[in-house]
Chains A and B, each alone.
Chain A
């Protein structure tokens, strides 16, 4: 943030053509969620049962595992941005705001990693014998 060029003065302050990125990404992931979560709900209705073997057998199919992973990424990306806006509105203390962003990032990235890992494990290993 120098005193030099016009772009240098505004960069990092929410302008310099970066202002709309958060807003647009919220919409892109909303479309992703709309398609992928609707597909998940229709699939849950169409599955023969929601018991262990039916569910694992279904997720193990690559044509299910890949969209499910994309759904996890889309969901956690979307909630990461949505919760950020909520926290920015309600957490006014600078220190607490910083802490809440830190925890939100841990939650979003951790949750997404756990979800993708679970799907990958099912896809690669399949049914686990009790």
Chain B
């Protein structure tokens, strides 16, 4: 890359002062890439297991409902809802709205609040219906 060393690089975590807007931005990238790797592979595994037959599906269920499996699924579900809320924030920012400092800070924090509420609601709905 033709870059001069004095210019700042894109998300430069080590020199920027942390704040809600920066946290939501880097978390958008972290959650997106987490979903793109572990999330997408898990989804295709689930579909492939269901297509292969009862034995392959039983293997998938055994892994998914192990303690590590639940941890991964809980993490991915929060990643999904955080990426969703952060993505909706991006749509608003794309329209040129929401850049006032107070507003920007408020909605950055609220993406984390909403994603956490949605994650809890999702698992509550799954648990009350399935067990």
Known contacts being A37-B80, A118-B47, is A82 close to B32, with CB within 8 Å?
yes
Residues of A close to B120: CB separation below 8 A = none
**A-B pairs with beta carbons under 8 A, tally:** 85
Cβ proximity bits B79-98 to A, threshold 8 Å, 1 near / 0 not? 01000100110010010000
Q: Which of A82, A115, A117 contacts B33 (CB 8 A)?
A: A82
User: Is B41 close to A, CB under 8 A?
Assistant: yes
Q: Which of A38, A56, A86, A94 contacts B50 (CB 8 A)?
A: A56
User: Which residues, 50 to 107 on B, are CB-close (under 8 Å) to A?
Assistant: 50-55, 57-58, 61, 80, 84, 87-88, 91, 94
Q: How many residues of B sit at the interface, in one of the four size bands?
A: 35 or more
Q: In terms of DSSP, what is the predominant structure of the interface of chain A? A: helix
Inter-subunit contact A114/B84 (CB<8 Å):
no
Interface residues of A, CB < 8 Å — how many? 39
Inter-subunit contact B57/A55 (CB<8 Å):
yes
Residues of B that sit less than 8 Å from A by CB: 1, 3, 9-11, 29, 32-33, 35-36, 40-41, 43-44, 47-48, 50-55, 57-58, 61, 80, 84, 87-88, 91, 94, 122, 125-126, 129-130
